[in-house]
Each structure stands twice: as structure tokens, then as C-alpha cells.
Structure 1
């Protein structure tokens, strides 16, 4: 345990260490410089160190003194690029390494105000992201091997009653005199600041709380001059869920549109055959496609004969439609007027198309001339 060694033995050990590895720091001989302090290693285990006043070459020197941050009275802090200097007592000790590694002043407050608590003091601001040491006087607990719980509770600001629990430590040895805890921003519950009351709950043999020791009320808030991040950075978890969902929805829409268009433009094979049978003449006989039915068998035979004659270079007879007579129908009273026939014989023996003459057409032309 921490306080099992006697002061004499501790002093002897410190002197032997000083002779082997000097740890001499010039500082004023004050009560604060000689106060015991606690160092916490990387495994989270504490050790108490008691400074020793000595003289080296005629100069008063404190051996194994506490770190400067625990005893200094002038402090310089940098917060969000702003440097500030203050005087007074040292601020609440904070851990500087993993598993709560660091150092703090040993607590001696067995019978004073707020006993057995030392740190934090009432109204102390605690900032998110910082690991603080909650300290108490181990000698306050007279029962050996006392197990406690360090608890933080929200309280009703009007009635002062506890509303719900903010945090709680695991089962902890009261003889260690401290518990380190990192303040989370969630403790503020999306507000600018939140009050939390601390307490120690001793545990009986069965693990139930047998005694509640009230502690200070602290303020969970941001550093002075804190500016919230206005640039909204996307949440990686939300983005990993939302992005595939949106892309999947877009892909589903595209596939659905393509399938819909394909279905709307699809022409069934049955429709093609049906159109062929009824619209395009596919499957009809040559006679049906040419419009030659049973009633027109005579016409069909005549047309076939005419095609055969034309193929052989022969002439085909066709009835000429009736034309009005030139004299009586068109000329009226002038039909009987004697006229001199002056015609040019384009189909005479010397004409160019004599070879192409159609005897049947010449006969019809002759008969027309006779009528005149």
C-alpha cells in the first residue's frame, strides 16, 4: 500500500537515491515544496514521494520535490491560440499519459471542510477532453481495505435533488486516494454548461453502498473563448451508411427504367406473325396478294395471257374508252362544214418509228379518220 512505510525509512531511501542519481532542484524552502506528492505510472499504479530538505554546497535544496506544475504560483496557459497568465494556487492536476499517468499533490483533509475531498474544489470548471485526478484523504477511512465508488450525479438546480447519474467509477480502493477520469462532452447534454455533484459511496461486504460521502459540485463547460466548429464535417459512420443507400437507390431506378422501356418496346413473335398474316400478306397465296379471287378467274387468265404476250414482244388488245365525236359533240353547228384534211403522216414509210408501228393502233386511227 501507499502509506505502509515509516517516514524514517522513506527518508533513508530517498537519501540513498539522491546519492546514486541526484535529483536536486533549487527552490525556496516552503511548506508547499515539502508536501508529499503522488506519481502514477503507465500502469495506473500510484506511488507517494516525500520531498526532503537538504543543503548542497551551503545552499538549501529540496530533494525529490514535486513537479513545478504542482507547486508554482504563476501560471501561463494557452487556450485556442490565446496566452494568459495567472497567479494563485495551482490548477487541478491532470493526467499527462495513458492509463492516468501523471502526478498530483497528496491529499490531507481528514477533518477539514469538505473532508475527505481535496480536488476538485467546489465550483471548479472541468473541460471536455481532459483527464482529471479526483483526490481524497485515504486516512479518512478507518476500516482497512475499504472499497468505494466515485460517482457524479446531475442535480435539480431548484430543489438540489439528484435527478440521474452522470458517471461512476469501477470498484476502487479508498487507500489509493485518487481516481482519474476523462471528461466527455456528452456530459453537457448539448448545453453550454452542466453542474455535476460528486460523492463517494463506500461498499459493504455484499457490494451494497453503506455510506454516501458528499463531495463538491463542479461545472462541466468548455474552455474560455471556445468557438464551436461551424464547418460541419460529415460523420463517417453516417456517410458510410447513407452513401451506399443513395447509390443503390439510384441504380435501382436506372435498372427499373431500362426494364420498363424494354417491356414497352418489346414486340412479340406472335404479333409479328399475326401482322404478317393479316397486314403484310405473309402466308397469302400469290393470287390473294395480287387481288385475284375466285370471282376474277377470267380476269386472272386474261392478265396472265397479256403478260406472256408482252414478254414475247407481241401486242395486246385493249378496249379504248368512248370518246366524244369531234364534229357533232365538240363543234356543234360547224360539224358539217367542209374542211380540208391536212394531216402529217408521222407513221409513213419514211418515219423513224416505222419499225415500232402498232398495226392495231393504226387501224383505230384510220377508223377515226373515216368518221370525220
Structure 2
């Protein structure tokens, strides 16, 4: 029979296992036996210690820590792409909107950066996520009241400028505080450095007595997503793609040349002959139908002019009637302007010998020359 202490131990393990949702048995390994803490929706932490047992001859760990806390290979999905990374697990975060989640129990009472465990130095935290800040609860005396502070840090000078946040008072044995990162902590900048510290209060006076410096974190915006460039084709894909592409290009070039040759053929007769398509380059001869239209239009215009003239109206013409306009060249020709050139106006005594010029009359040599040329043409 089991002793009373054994029954009590089994009952405690059963109650602890029941408090953890979706806990499954897992293979035995060193990390799976690490104690871990689960946080409920009320913020109260519960420490769970895994138990190693044997089921059907197989070594099994009951209430082991989740793989997200103890694993070294992590798979994450971001913007629809699955990435795999190895190394230290990322900073523990709440898995629900109410701040509930889990993290590994911190054991760093005398190590580097004691008593802090997470986050790591230089960790980047993004707005919209709740992170767990953890420390070793055994570092402080029992019933010690502490607060967690965050101070803005000048990255160039290392000087603390102002306070970013401060938690409510809590007992140090909780060993954690959840930080809800918000964009307000960035103060309009792309990133801000914050130095963490734990402040222990004097149990008697309530004043701050001890300051335990912690890691420096950075609150920054989520980095812009850049899709990785597609890998160039290689192997069989390259052997098939290259001939296909070059074949298509050659086909397009040859087809374009044949089409141009067919549609842009120039005959020699089109250039040399004036009787086939025109009287000159770029000025084709009007067709028969076009000439008929122009002739009918001219006939209609003439008919309208006759009707207007018969009615006593005046017909408009683009060119003036030179018969009714007097000559305006007398000023330029002088005495030659009114000189008749017809033979009937010749004076007797011209070159034909029919008469001689009258005495005292001046001979017109220009008129005689014109008359001589007319006689020679006859």
C-alpha cells in the first residue's frame, strides 16, 4: 500500500497537471524536466515540475515543459512564409489576449546578470505583444516587495534620461512581470532603448532600498516585410526554358520580316511611271470619278452665274476683270507706254520704203525693231 506522503504527492501532481491545458506526454530529455511556470488569466503564476515515469515500458515525462520553451529548432510563420531558426528560444510572450501563457522557471541566483533570466541583453520587442520579464525569485528574501522599472537610455552616452514605465508593487516570489509593449513607449521614434531594473522596497518603511540593474531592451516597429527574391532556374528547368525563349524570339523576328516584306513591297513602276498612279512622287493623279465630280461642280457654278446675271445681279469673281481696269504702267515705261506696236500704226517711211518720216519728226527705233522682227518671222 502507498503511504500517506505518496498519496499526497500523487494528488499534487494530478492537480498541477490538470491546471495546464493541452499537456501531452513527451520523450525523456534533460530540457523536458526543467520546471516551468504557467500564468492564468488572473495573472497568478503556477510553477509546474515535470515528472519522469514509465508507461508500457517506455520512459515518459508527465507535465513536461512545452517545446516552444525548451526546443532549439523553431518554426515560425510570417507573412505567409515559414521560416526555421536554431539557437536560443525567443523571449517568452503571452499566448492569449488576457496575458496568460508560460515561461521557464528562472534559476540565476548567482550567475551573470543575476537575478535576471529573460529577456536577453539587446532584445528587440515589438508593439502589440506582451512579453514576460523573468528573474530568480530566490534572490530576494521571502515576502520582499518589488517593482519593475524601465528607463529611457541614451545609446550614445549611456545616460538615463527619463522613466518609461513602472509596474505595480508585487511580491518577488512571483518571479515575473508581463510588459505590454505599446507604440507610446517609442515616443514617435523608430526605436527606443530602455534599461530595466528591479527595485526592492524596504519591508518596514516601504522606501526603495535596493536597485538591481537588468538588461537593456529596444522597443521598435515591426520590420518591413521584404519577400526573398526567387532563385534563378537551374538544372532541367534551365535546359528547357532557354531553348524555348530563344526559339520564340527567333520566330517573332522571322515572322515580322516576312510580314513586312509582304505588306510593304514597292514596285518599280509605281516610282518611275507617271501615267499609272500619278504625275509625281507624293502627288497622285485624281481618279476618273473625282474628275467627273469636279466638272459637274463647275457646271453648277456656271449655271448659277448665268441665272444671277440674267436677273441683273452682280457675279462675284476671285480675279478682277482686267478689261475694265485702266493700265497702271505708264509711270514706269514713260514714252513707251502709249506707243502702238501694231503695223497699222506705223508711220510712212518705215523700213518697207513706202514713205519717209516727215521732216522734223523723231524716229522711234524701238518700234522699228519690233516691226523688223515681225517681218522676219513672216
How high is the TM-score relative to the length of structure 2?
0.54
Deviations 1:46-102 (A, max 9, x none): 111000011111111100111221122221222333332111222111112244211
What CA distance in whole angstroms lies between the structure 2 residues aligned with 1:118 and 1:8?
Answer: 35
Unmatched tracts of structure 1, length 5 or more: 1-5, 228-372
Residue 122 of structure 2: aligned partner: 123
State the SS of the aligned residue for 1:114: coil
- Alpha-carbon distance change, 8 to 65 in structure 1, aligned in 2, over 3 angstroms: farther
Moved over 3 A (4+): 6-12, 15-19, 21-28
Please show how residues 60-209 of structure 1 align to structure 2 within 5 Å: 60-142=59-141, 144-204=142-202, 205-209=204-208
SS at match of 2:152: strand
Distance 1:8 1:151, change over 3 A: farther
1:163 is paired with a residue of what secondary structure? strand
Quick check: 2:115–2:139 contact (8 Å CA) kept in 1? yes
Structure 2's unaligned 5+ residue stretches are 227-378
Note the alpha carbon deviations across 1:139-180, whole angstroms, 9 max, x for none: 0002x2111110111112232121001111011110100011
Between Structure 1 and Structure 2, how many residues are aligned? 220
Displacement, 1:13?
Answer: 2.2
Give the deviation of 1:10 after TM superposition: 5.1
Shift of 1:9: 5.9
In structure 2, relative to structure 1, the CA distance for the partners of 1:16 and 1:101 (3 Å cut) is closer
Greater relative contact order (Cα < 8 A, sep 6+): 1
Cα drift, residue 225 of structure 1: 2.8
Task: Map residues 1-372 of structure 1 onto 2, 5 A cutoff.
Answer: 13-14=12-13, 25-142=24-141, 144-204=142-202, 205-226=204-225
Q: Is the 8 A contact 2:130 2:181 kept in 1?
A: yes
* Cα distance in structure 2, aligned partners of 1:122 and 1:74: 21
Q: Answer whether contact 2:26 2:62 (CA < 8 A) is retained.
A: no
Cα shift at 1:7: 11
Separation in structure 1 between the aligned mates of residue 7 and residue 198 of structure 2, nearest angstrom: 32
* Separation in 2, partners of 1:7, 1:182: 42
User: Is the CA contact 2:16–2:48 (under 8 Å) kept in the aligned structure 1?
Assistant: no
Structure 2 distance, partners of 1:7, 1:149, is 39
Q: Secondary structure at the match of 2:218?
A: strand
Aligned residues of 2:72 and 2:88 also touching (Cα < 8 A) = yes
1:42–1:98 CA contact under 8 A, matched in 2 = no
CA distance in structure 1 between the partners assigned to 2:216 and 2:53 by the alignment: 40
The secondary structure found in structure 2 opposite 1:100 is coil
8 Å CA contact 1:193, 1:222 repeated in 2: yes
**CA–CA distance in structure 2, aligned partners of residues 223 and 88 of structure 1:** 21
Distance 1:17 1:46 in 2: 12
Q: What's the RMSD between the two structures over aligned residues?
A: 2.7
Out of 26-35 and 7-16, give the one that drifted further. 7-16
2-side partners of 1:191 and 1:76: how far apart?
Answer: 31
Does the 8 A contact of 2:154 with 2:193 survive in 1? no
Contact 1:23/1:63 (CA < 8 Å) preserved in 2?
no
1:91 and 1:133 mapped to 2: Cα distance? 11
